[in-house]
Amino acid sequence: MHAFVNYTLDGLSVGMVYAAVALSLVLIWRSTRILNFAGGAMAMLTTYIGLSLIDRGANYWVAFFGALIAGLVLGAVVERVFVRPVENKPPINAVIVTLGLFTLIEALAGMIWGNSKSRSFPAHFSGNGYRVGTTRVAFAPFDTFIVVAVALTMVALLGLFQYTSLGLKMRAAAFEPVVARLQGIRVSRMLTLGWALAAAAGSLAGVLVAPRILPLSPNYMDDVLVYGFSAAVLGGLDSPVGALIGGLVLGLTREYVGGYVSSTYEIEGALVLLIAVLMVRPQGLFNRIAPRRV
Amino acid sequence: MATTPAAPESARTTGPVTDADGPPPSAPSGRARSAWERLPVVARTAIFALAFAVIGILIANGISRYRDFQLAEIAAYLVAVAGLTVLTGLNGQISLGHGALMAVGAYCAAVLLLHAHLPLVVVLLLSALAGGVAGVLVGAVAARLRGPYLAGATLALAVGLPEIPKNYKYFGRDEGLTINPPLPPGWLGTNAPIERWGAYICIIGAAVTLFLLANLSRGRVGRNFRAVRDDEIAASLAGISVPRTQILAFTVSAACAGLAGGLLALVTPTVGPGGFSLALSIQLLVAIVIGGMGNLPGAVLGSIVLVYLPSWATSISNGVGLSKQIGANLALAIFGGMLIVVMLAFPGGIAAAVRRTWWALTSRRRPATTIPAGP
Amino acid sequence: MLEISGVSASYGPVQALRDVTVQVPDGSVTAVLGANGAGKTTLLKTITGLLKPQAGTVVFDGHDLTSMKVEDIVRLGVAHVPEGRGVINELTVDDNLRLGAIWRRDTADRKTALGEMYDLFPPLAQRRRRSAFTLSGGERQMLVLGRALMSRPKALLLDEPSLGLAPIVTAQMMALLRDLSAEQGLTVLLVEQNAKSALSIATTGVVLSLGQVVTTKAAAELAADADLRHHYLGF
């Protein structure tokens, strides 16, 4: 019973990180119909930028927000420079470009910061589990921070999209770009903004997961991306709610499989779940938009 | 009614117009066909394959042992790249998981070599078969998926499959399985290096694969592949079973990947999870992008780049005096950069761009197209 | 004044418009008529910048629209209700309407305009929080018309607004357009296959066939010309 509680708590915490990655992918998918395979690498890059700030004496919060801002900038730049040319081409072009970015960014990070230097990202909050009675549970102040940060971000983005004019413009640009242009909306700017926000969400995931990865290396986000991607697909790529639920489901699955079966099968468990869901519902769980047939 | 320009969810990742669609329409069509053109396709491809094998073997005889090893690698990867280019270029399905399918063939061959005494040909055929069986399974799942969901499922395969051998002693866990490479047969001479024999095997394997794929591509199956790629609905209305075609394409390409894995197992000392990571799947993609998707000759170019670039990059960086840190990552950075640049500048692949330039330059000297007089 | 002069436009190898010249005086209702594929939709797309012409110019109020971007043309006061209406199904009625004026900075006036649209179209007011895809054909037409009017345009381009609507609804809509044009001085360019309805409110009729202007006449004359009507307009 104790183990179950711990697995569940761990699963929720890591699930929120996956949800952030999934949200990042969903935002980009909704606005540009592109799967950003470079999402993990971009998050990694901004986390390393945050780490560089710490090396120069900055405190955790400067590095934290520095990474998020770097994410905003990186997302905008990537959209403008690399993605814009393939936005209206066959989907395979965008797949290849984002895979190329993924490879390139990780290689560049390796060149700048090294592949195996022993570094770690600090955590501002304690990683020791809360005391409940006489035992410690597997949920620490840092986990609280993770859950709160991701939840706040999601609420903020929800508020932006549902309740502001800017959000309305972005939604219109995503759903019907031509119609949106006819309403005077500068659709290409909305797409850039969408990528910027999505990349910032990815950066959030990157800094939240980094303190627990020891040592940090340029490919630390690879697994996280696979989980986050699975979460997004599971939830249905058009659904931000699906991203949240998908993230939590995948986080829990990973912990249960890791705990009850074997830690070496963690990722297999997640992937089997993904394939199983896709076989039954090829459009994901929460997609109201069924795959268009005919 | 939607005025969205986005492709519908049910559309495959149809690629740009590929070289598999044939040469540009300025090819002469009115004059009498030459002797070459009157040969049946089977004969023409057989001659090409034979020429390929002969040239390859001649090259293998004239180079150092290390170069023989690289030649063997190129030929082995060529088998996988050729299969993948058929899947993506002809049939329009994207797979990020072919590295994992190569692992299936490689481990199959390794296990057979270690625990059974079978002729090499049988081992290789079984590797191809293992890949093919995996391909049927993956293809059955893939046939239900479209676009990003397909990419994602194959990504899952690429990441998840190589982890499995890590759990079993039988498969060598993290270190993998070590095999003794096959010894050259007596008739090759007493001094024949092992690497040369390895190169021969791989070159012949590649020649046979190219022959089979070329015929497949020009036959009815190839036409079905392209029909499904271009318009699933039209193809199914024409009586083509779309799921079966897609599964077949996956199976064929997976069998190629399995064979390639088996060939690699013969020439490299170890078969381990590290050699079949996601990076390999991405590198296979690099090869087909450079060569032009659907373009078999382009697959040769892609495979050469794939094998040469890493060693070339490391030697350049050492020569220029860059740090080890940079040198180790340079090849990957170039691969990533190539994917981006080629896709942005040459959506049909470098080989296609070169071809089009060639046709454009030579079209002035070609006889004018005469329109055939009647049915 | 909206002046289309010598415009030629194509979709790849298909020439959709050939040397088309149309003059739309301020405050008038001009009907653009013709069969399917005549180029009517293409003409509207060329005016609002969705399609760039190979030749010719489009001038509105002294501004050269020919090389301008869609978003900028809209901000000059040209509203375009496209083919198929362009309702964004995933958004609510309220959101769809608000989109019409979203580029305008005057937030107070945006609110006022929204109120005016709900007054003009009571069925929309009743459904303001509902998802747009629940609306009927007639309600969807009201929605996109309201959305177009939100930006207080000077010129209104409509592409087959009567499509799929019952005759009585069409008649009401046409009457509304005529009244708006008369009361607010709105310039209306109306593309229609339902030539009879369109001509009933138009001052001028332009007939297109195979991308070319066949004739430009006063609406009453067009309606009276039986030969022309049978040949090009289907009635």
Task: For chain B, list the contacting chains (3+ Cβ pairs, <8 Å).
Answer: A, C
Write down the residue that tokens 């375009």 correspond to.
C80
Residues from chain B contacting residue A106 (CB–CB below 8 Å):
332, 336
Whether the per-residue pLDDT at B314 is higher than 90: the answer is no
Residue C47 has a pLDDT of 94
Size of interface A-B (CB pairs under 8 A): 172
State mean pLDDT over B8-29.
44
Residues B82-135: pLDDT tens digits? 999 999 888 888 898 999 999 999 999 999 988 888 888 999 999 999 999 999
pLDDT range class, residue B326, cuts 50, 70, 90? confident
pLDDT range class, residue B353, cuts 50, 70, 90? low
Amino acid identity for residue A177 in this structure: P
Where would I find the beta strands (DSSP E) of B217-324? 270-271
Q: How far apart are CA C227 and CA B43, in angstroms?
A: 66
Average pLDDT of chain B is 82
Peptide bond into A215 cis (omega under 30): yes
Write down the residue that tokens 């090849």 correspond to.
B331
Identify the closest residue of chain A to B279 by CA–CA distance. Answer: A103
DSSP letter assigned to residue A164: S
Residue B7 has a pLDDT of 38
Both tokens assigned to A129: 């589990």
Residue A25 has a pLDDT of 95
pLDDT range class, residue B354, cuts 50, 70, 90? low
Residues A150-165: pLDDT tens digits? 999 999 998 999 999 9
pLDDT range class, residue A293, cuts 50, 70, 90? very low
Write down the residue that tokens 């090869």 correspond to.
B287
Contact map slice: B 3-32 vs C, CB within 8 A = 3
pLDDT range class, residue B144, cuts 50, 70, 90? confident
B183 CB neighbour count, 10 Å cutoff: 10
Contact map slice: A 121-140 vs B, CB within 8 A = none
Q: What is the DSSP string of A48-76?
A: HHHHHHHHTT--HHHHHHHHHHHHHHHHH
Sheet with C14-24: list strands edge to edge: C14-24, C2-11, C55-60, C63-64
**Pairing between strand C2-11 and C55-60?**
antiparallel
Question: What does pTM read for this prediction?
Answer: 0.85
Q: How far apart are CA B120 and CA A241, in angstroms?
A: 54
Residues A9/A143, Cβ–Cβ less than 8 Å: yes
Write down the residue that tokens 């299969």 correspond to.
B83
Give the residue from C150, C228, C154 showing the smallest Cα distance to C189: C154
SS3 assignment for A173-189? HHHCHHHHHHCCCCHHH
Identify the closest residue of chain B to C50 by CA–CA distance. Answer: B3
Q: How far is B144 from chain C (nearest CA, A)?
A: 26
Residues A32/A187, Cβ–Cβ less than 8 Å: no
Burial B255-269 (b: 16+ CB within 10 A, else e): bbbbbbbbbbbbbbe
Residue B363 has a pLDDT of 65
Q: How far apart are CA B272 and CA B177, in angstroms?
A: 6
More confident call, B41 vs A189: A189
Identify the closest residue of chain B to C87 by CA–CA distance. Answer: B2
Contact map slice: B 210-249 vs A, CB within 8 A = 233
**Chain B contact present for A261, CB below 8 A:** no
Of B57-71, B177-191, C34-48, which one has max mean pLDDT? C34-48
pLDDT range class, residue A166, cuts 50, 70, 90? very high
Residues from chain B contacting residue C82 (CB–CB below 8 Å):
3
Both tokens assigned to B149: 């969901």
Residues 6+ apart with CB under 8 A from C132: C87, C88, C89, C90, C91, C92, C93, C95, C96, C140, C143
Give percent of chain B above pLDDT 70: 85
Q: Which of B8, B88, B156 sits opposite A230 (nearest CB)?
A: B156
Preferred mutation among A30, A92, A293 to probe B, highest tally of B CBs within 10 A: A92
Both tokens assigned to B195: 């690497």
Both tokens assigned to B123: 């081992």
Of A133-137, B40-44, B195-199, C156-160, which one has max mean pLDDT? C156-160
**Contact B332/A179, CB-based, under 8 Å?**
no
Q: How far apart are CA C222 and CA C196, in angstroms?
A: 10
Preferred mutation among A35, A83, A103 to probe B, highest tally of B CBs within 10 A: A103
**Chain A contact present for B289, CB below 8 A:** yes
Contact map slice: B 326-345 vs A, CB within 8 A = 326, 328-330, 332-333, 335-340, 343-344
Residues from chain C contacting residue B1 (CB–CB below 8 Å):
84-85
**Chain B contact present for A263, CB below 8 A:** no
A52 CB neighbour count, 10 Å cutoff: 15
Residues from chain B contacting residue A222 (CB–CB below 8 Å):
159, 278
Whether the per-residue pLDDT at B33 is higher than 80: the answer is no
**Contact A264/B285, CB-based, under 8 Å?**
no
Interface residue ranges in chain A relative to chain C, Cβ cutoff 8 Å? 165, 168-169, 171-172, 175-176, 178-187
Give the residue from B293, B341, B352 showing the smallest Cα distance to B94: B293
**Long-range contacts: C11-19, Cβ < 8 Å, 24+?**
C11/C42, C11/C51, C15/C211, C16/C42, C16/C211, C17/C42, C17/C43, C17/C46, C17/C53, C17/C211, C17/C212, C18/C210, C18/C211, C18/C212, C19/C55, C19/C56, C19/C212
Identify the closest residue of chain B to C90 by CA–CA distance. Answer: B2
Q: Which of B14, B151, B325 sits opposite A90 (nearest CB)?
A: B14
Q: Which of A172, A178, A183 sits opposite C50 (nearest CB)?
A: A178
Residues from chain A contacting residue B159 (CB–CB below 8 Å):
222-223, 226, 267, 271
A292 phi and psi, to 5 degrees?
-70, 115
pLDDT range class, residue B26, cuts 50, 70, 90? very low
Give the residue from C159, C161, C50, C146 showing the smallest Cα distance to C95: C146
**Chain B contact present for A90, CB below 8 A:** yes
Q: How far apart are CA B171 and CA B271, in angstroms?
A: 9
**Chain C contact present for B1, CB below 8 A:** yes
Write down the residue that tokens 């340029």 correspond to.
A218
Say if residue C168 is exposed, middle or buried (CB neighbours under 10 Å; 0-12, 13-18, 19+).
exposed
Identify the closest residue of chain A to C110 by CA–CA distance. Answer: A165
Q: How far is A83 from chain C (nearest CA, A)?
A: 21
**Contact A96/B339, CB-based, under 8 Å?**
yes
Identify the closest residue of chain A to B89 by CA–CA distance. Answer: A92
Write down the residue that tokens 């590198």 correspond to.
B283
More confident call, C203 vs B190: C203
Residues A14-68: pLDDT tens digits? 999 999 999 999 999 988 889 999 999 999 999 999 999 998 988 899 999 999 9
Residues A170/C88, Cβ–Cβ less than 8 Å: no
Q: How far apart are CA C22 and CA C4, in angstroms?
A: 5
Residues 6+ apart with CB under 8 A from B133: none
Sheet with C78-81: list strands edge to edge: C78-81, C155-159, C187-192, C29-33, C204-209, C212-218
Residues C70-112: pLDDT tens digits? 999 999 999 999 988 999 999 999 999 999 999 998 889 999 9
Give percent of chain C above pLDDT 70: 100
State mean pLDDT over B267-289.
88
**Chain A contact present for B7, CB below 8 A:** yes
**Chain B contact present for C11, CB below 8 A:** no
Residues 6+ apart with CB under 8 A from B1: C84, C85
The residues with which C63 forms a beta bridge, in sequence order, are C60
**Contact B3/C85, CB-based, under 8 Å?**
no
Residues A210-234: pLDDT tens digits? 998 878 889 899 889 989 988 998 8
This model of the complex carries an ipTM of 0.92
Residues B189-236: pLDDT tens digits? 767 788 888 889 999 999 999 999 999 998 899 999 999 888 888 888
CA distances from A145 to A37, A78, A123, A205, A235 (A): 27, 29, 10, 12, 24
Torsional class of A245: left (φ above 0), alpha (ψ -120 to 50), beta (otherwise):
alpha
Q: How far is A174 from chain C (nearest CA, A)?
A: 10
**Chain B contact present for C82, CB below 8 A:** yes
Residue B9 has a pLDDT of 37
Residue B19 has a pLDDT of 45
More confident call, B177 vs A180: A180
Q: How far is A51 from chain B (nearest CA, A)?
A: 18
Angle between helices B194-218 and B65-85 (to 10 degrees): 20
**Contact B1/C82, CB-based, under 8 Å?**
no
Contact map slice: B 49-88 vs A, CB within 8 A = 88
**Chain A contact present for B10, CB below 8 A:** yes
Residue A291 has a pLDDT of 43
Residue B373 has a pLDDT of 46
pLDDT range class, residue B350, cuts 50, 70, 90? low
Q: What is the DSSP string of C24-82?
A: E-TT-EEEEE-STTSSHHHHHHHHHTSS--SEEEEEETTEE-TTS-HHHHHHTTEEEE-
**Contact B333/A108, CB-based, under 8 Å?**
yes
Residue A288 has a pLDDT of 62
- Determine the distance from the C-alpha atom of residue A10 to the mean position of all C-alpha atoms in its chain, rounded to a whole number: 18
Residues from chain A contacting residue B10 (CB–CB below 8 Å):
291-294
Residues from chain A contacting residue C50 (CB–CB below 8 Å):
178, 181-182
Identify the closest residue of chain A to B148 by CA–CA distance. Answer: A35
Q: How far apart are CA C131 and CA B130, in angstroms?
A: 52
Q: How far is C190 from chain A (nearest CA, A)?
A: 17
**Contact A185/C102, CB-based, under 8 Å?**
yes
Q: What is the DSSP string of B201-246?
A: HHHHHHHHHHHHHHHHHHSHHHHHHHHHHH-HHHHHHTT--HHHHH
Residues A229/A66, Cβ–Cβ less than 8 Å: no
Whether the per-residue pLDDT at C114 is higher than 70: the answer is yes
Residues 6+ apart with CB under 8 A from A150: A16, A17, A19, A20, A204, A205, A208
Residues from chain B contacting residue C83 (CB–CB below 8 Å):
3
